[in-house]
Structure 1
Amino acid sequence: MAKSRVSSRFLMPPEEVLRAREKLVLDHFHDEVAQDWDATLSTFPHPHYELIAQMLVHDGDSEVREYYTDTRVAFPDQHHELIAFRHSPDAVIVEFWLLGTHKGFLGQIPPTGSTHRTRMTAFFIFDENENLVTERVYFDQLTIVKQLIGGLDKKSPKGLLKLARVVKGILSMSGGVPDPRLLDTTPPEVGS
């Protein structure tokens, strides 16, 4: 892919660069749903995910593969419904619904059998050579948790026991230390 040669945050790359970025992102989404991890990872020279709600980074092939495996164990039918694509000088910004059925452990949270449909935004960030360098995902964790718990029968002893196990799992995963790579931010030069 050719360099976009964008030197200012106010200048957009040419249309062919935007189309190439969008195709790469669409391929990435398609390959994730198909669980073709080799194809998905091939969209990055170095796979790198930032999950802002959890303040987690998955960096490199093995960490990102582990992330894919863990999320598909928890939600084997995970898929997306695209809402909107937007372009910026260095990114494709995608709004989408993430959907799935909670059939396996999500970290320490036992499966509930509930489904979730959560609105998310992902920034696919490109470098000056038009390489995808980061997928940065924003979402509300509480939205997912509410849906996973909401499907439990809270009037039955079995449902209450499941709820207690889910809450215990959530609490055991809370309070982790944020990844320092997400804390060390530099404000943009504004007004230049």
Structure 2
Amino acid sequence: MNRFDIPGADVLRARQRLVLDHFRDEVVQKWDDVLSTFPHPHYEIVPTLTVHDGDTAVRGYYHDTRVAFPDQHHEIIELRHSADAVIVEFWLLGTHRGPLGGIPATGRPFRVRMTGYFIFDEHENLVTERVYFDSLTMLKQLLGHVSIKRPGTWLTAVRALRGLASLSGEPDRRLLETTAPADLSD
């Protein structure tokens, strides 16, 4: 298959069902079921330049995000198909109840628009979930109550800055060292 060959309706329906099951099982935190949608779990979180590769790393990602946002859930906006992916636009929602990396819980809700690319290989295996979102939108919602004009929020501001610094670890090279597809001349 090349980049212009869209699979038939049966393949697209099967992909869509797998992606919707994946979303549903994430919300109810059935991690074994979510992980069973991949032969090898692999998440790429583009705004943070992080990759969670393999069962242990992905389970760690699930744990950390659900400690931070135990009520995390989504609202699907649109679902589209491409030659090798299901592309989902969705709202991610939750309440900041635990630490997000080094950022202390604020108790504030968030609602952030995201796009997830669920990429399939030539055997119709889900091989990657790649997520894009504006991290500043999320941080503004979580830390919107912090102001240098309000001394009562200064401690939270200092903790949040320290937390942000701890999140800015070394970017995953796999998200930085990309190459253009060879067949773009068509």
**2:143 is aligned with 1:164:** no
In 1, Cα distance between the equivalents of 2:146 and 2:71? 19
Please tell me whether the aligned partners of residues 145 and 153 of structure 2 are also in contact (alpha carbons under 8 angstroms).
Answer: no
Structure 1 unaligned regions, length at least 5: 1-6
Pairwise CA distance, 1:15: 0.1
**2:180 is aligned with 1:184:** no
For 1:92, the aligned partner's letter is: V
Pairwise CA distance, 1:79: 0.3
Q: 1:113 aligns with which of 107, 111, 132?
A: 107
Q: 1:97 aligns with which of 77, 91, 94?
A: 91
In 2, Cα distance between the equivalents of 1:50 and 1:114? 26
% identity of equivalent residues: 63
Please tell me the root mean square deviation across aligned C-alpha atoms, in Å: 1.4
How many residue pairs get matched? 185
Where does 1:16-35 land on structure 2 (aligned, <5 Å)? 16-35=10-29
Q: 1:133 aligns with which of 107, 127, 135?
A: 127
In 2, Cα distance between the equivalents of 1:180 and 1:168? 24
**2:46 is aligned with 1:52:** yes
Which runs of at least 4 in structure 1 moved beyond 6 Å after TM superposition? none
**TM-score, length basis structure 1:** 0.92
In 1, Cα distance between the equivalents of 2:104 and 2:149? 19
**TM-score, length basis structure 2:** 0.95
Where does 1:150-161 land on structure 2 (aligned, <5 Å)? 150-152=144-146, 157-161=151-155
In 2, Cα distance between the equivalents of 1:80 and 1:126? 22
**For residues 105-139 of structure 1, what are the alpha-carbon distances to aligned partners after superposition, in whole Å with 9 as ceiling and x for unaligned?**
00111001111100000000000000000000001
